[in-house]
């Protein structure tokens, strides 16, 4: 922590000898960006403005991603683009140790005497080399209930990537926005630019309509949602965040920890009954294998094969006790049911609940039908959890469907995750942030 403060001071000194890092007359307490869900890829995308003049850019939201990376090969025009010079403070902050030249005419992504990173597409697990650079980034501030004035970070660090790295991402995006545990992820750079808490919150909407958005807040609450202006930050349940000591990125240096967010699930209950699972799989071992992480790039929760089998067997038998009949597998889903005898509730189809149990039996995240089931057609509902096979790197990956309409706060200073459980209970959703700006 001490070294972090020293570093921020150095950065201010080197990058902003005359003015401040952020060009505003007021200091925002928090920032807000919209998040939509792409109907064809099920990826969550966000939008920020970058460059001079500012252009809105769409990015796939990657909770555990290391930093912002952007396609610089196509349509990158900006008078404020600055490559990071070898051995600069920017390179060390980004842990970009290499030093490279580019044998072509100079342009964004191709400059001599620059340090480079290895931006990765975490959907397709592809990575490639790319120049570290900075440019202007603009986002909206917030008091927690509406967007306020736009604020600007003049030298926001990111990696330049070639166009091919976009393959497999939603149409219209030009990169990925990494919110992970690094010094140059979006939450870290915003927190240091505006001196607010190293805390952020995500609230993903289940809707794929382009006019319906979830939200990411950078900074501490309040996090207020319509229609009754509930501040969701007041009713969170907390569990510790863990660091996986071995990187889970496609390309990394020996000794790098993972930038992803891990939590300790100690048990899984179905309909409040404990599922028998091999507890060795629930901890991260010395090689960084095992444990539980949260991911926005996996559309559905992925369970290691033996955990998948135990959870689904219990789920099927508990469903049967409610006269819900199993049908054949559909698409990626192995466990499907007839919709007959499935009642509707405020929190989705009435099916057995699934609990992820944390530090004690009274601290759990309960997953209801809205977050466990996928309606594949009028007659069939499937369990939206997929089989991760044997020996996966991480035993439990809690994915998009299970995160929707739940607010999750990642507090890096306190190293804890706050979760709201389904907002549908409090008669709101993640799409209920009031995006009407007040300036």
Ligand X SMILES: *[C@@H]1O[C@H](CO)[C@@H](O)[C@H](O)[C@H]1NC(C)=O
Per CB under 6 A, residues contacting ligand X are 49, 101-104, 106, 110-112, 140, 146, 150, 226, 274, 278, 280-281, 322-323, 359-363, 434, 436, 438
Give me the least distance between CB of 274 and ligand X, in Å please. 4
Distance of CA 105 to the CA centre of its chain: 36
Of 49 and 327, which has the nearer Cβ to ligand X? 49
Measured CA to CA, the distance from residue 186 to residue 369 in angstroms comes to 32
Cα dihedral sign for 255, 261, 265, 270? negative
Cis amide prior to 238 (ω within 30 degrees): no
Alpha helices in 331-428 (DSSP H): 369-372, 400-403
**For ligand X, which is the closer residue by CB, 235 or 253?**
235
Q: Give kind and range of the element (H or E) at residue 141.
A: strand 130-142
Neighbours of 17 (CB within 10 A): 7
| Least distance in angstroms from the C-beta of 334 to ligand X | 21
Residue with tokens 């970058």: 50
Q: Minimal distance in Å, beta carbon 85 to ligand X?
A: 13
Instruction: Tell me the DSSP string of 122-138.
Output: TTTTEE--EEEEEEEEE
In the complex, the smallest distance separating the C-beta of residue 378 from ligand X, rounded to whole angstroms, is 21
Beta strands in 19-125 (DSSP E): 30-37, 44-50, 55-62, 68-71, 82-83, 116-117, 120-121
Residue 147 or 400 having the CB closest to ligand X: 147
CB nearer to ligand X: pick between 97 and 229: 229
Least spacing, CB of residue 176 vs ligand X, in Å = 18
**Pairing outcome for strands 396-398 and 292-294:** parallel
CA distance 247 to 225: 36
User: Which residue, 360 or 377, is less far from ligand X as judged by CB?
Assistant: 360
From the CB of 323, what's the least distance to ligand X, in Å?
4
**Minimum gap (Å) between residue 389 Cβ and ligand X:** 12
Of 38 and 355, CB closest to ligand X: 355
């Amino acid at each position: 922590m001490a070294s972090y403060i020293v570093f921020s001071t150095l950065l201010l000194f080197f990058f902003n000898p005359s003015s401040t890092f952020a060009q505003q007359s007021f200091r925002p307490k928090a920032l807000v960006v919209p998040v939509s869900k792409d109907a064809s890829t099920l990826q969550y995308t966000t939008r920020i403005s970058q460059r001079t003049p500012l252009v809105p850019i769409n990015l796939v939201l990657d909770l555990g991603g290391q930093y912002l990376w952007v396609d610089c090969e196509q349509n990158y025009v900006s008078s404020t683009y600055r490559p990071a010079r070898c051995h600069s403070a920017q390179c060390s902050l980004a842990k970009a140790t290499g030093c490279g030249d580019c044998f072509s005419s100079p342009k964004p992504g191709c400059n001599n005497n620059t340090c480079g990173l290895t931006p990765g597409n975490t959907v397709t697990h592809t990575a490639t080399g790319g120049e570290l650079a900075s440019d202007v980034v603009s986002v909206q501030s917030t008091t927690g209930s509406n967007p306020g004035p736009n604020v600007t970070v003049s030298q926001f660090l990111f990696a330049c990537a070639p166009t091919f790295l976009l393959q497999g991402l939603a149409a219209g995006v030009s990169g990925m926005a990494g919110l992970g545990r690094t010094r140059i992820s979006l939450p870290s750079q915003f927190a240091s630019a505006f001196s607010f808490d190293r805390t952020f919150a995500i609230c993903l909407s289940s809707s794929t309509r382009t006019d319906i958005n979830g939200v990411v807040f950078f900074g501490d609450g309040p996090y207020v949602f319509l229609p009754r202006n509930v501040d969701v930050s007041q009713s969170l349940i907390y569990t510790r965040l863990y660091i996986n000591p071995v990187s889970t990125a496609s390309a990394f240096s020996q000794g790098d920890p993972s930038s992803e967010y891990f939590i300790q699930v100690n048990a899984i209950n179905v309909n409040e009954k404990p599922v028998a699972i091999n507890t060795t799989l629930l901890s991260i071992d010395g090689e960084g294998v095992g444990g539980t992480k949260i991911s926005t790039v996996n559309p559905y929760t992925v369970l290691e094969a033996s955990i998948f089998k135990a959870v689904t067997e219990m789920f099927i038998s508990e469903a049967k006790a409610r006269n819900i009949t199993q049908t054949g597998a559909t698409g990626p889903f192995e466990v499907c049911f007839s919709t007959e005898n499935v009642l509707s509730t405020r929190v989705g189809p009435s099916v057995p609940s699934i609990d992820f149990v944390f530090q004690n039996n009274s601290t759990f995240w309960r997953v209801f039908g809205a977050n466990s089931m996928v309606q594949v057609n009028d007659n069939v509902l499937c369990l939206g959890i997929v089989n991760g096979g044997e020996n996966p790197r991480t035993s439990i990956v809690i994915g998009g469907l299970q995160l929707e309409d739940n607010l999750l706060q990642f507090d890096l200073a306190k190293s804890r995750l706050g979760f709201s459980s389904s907002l549908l209970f409090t008669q709101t959703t993640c799409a209920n942030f009031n995006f009407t700006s007040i300036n």
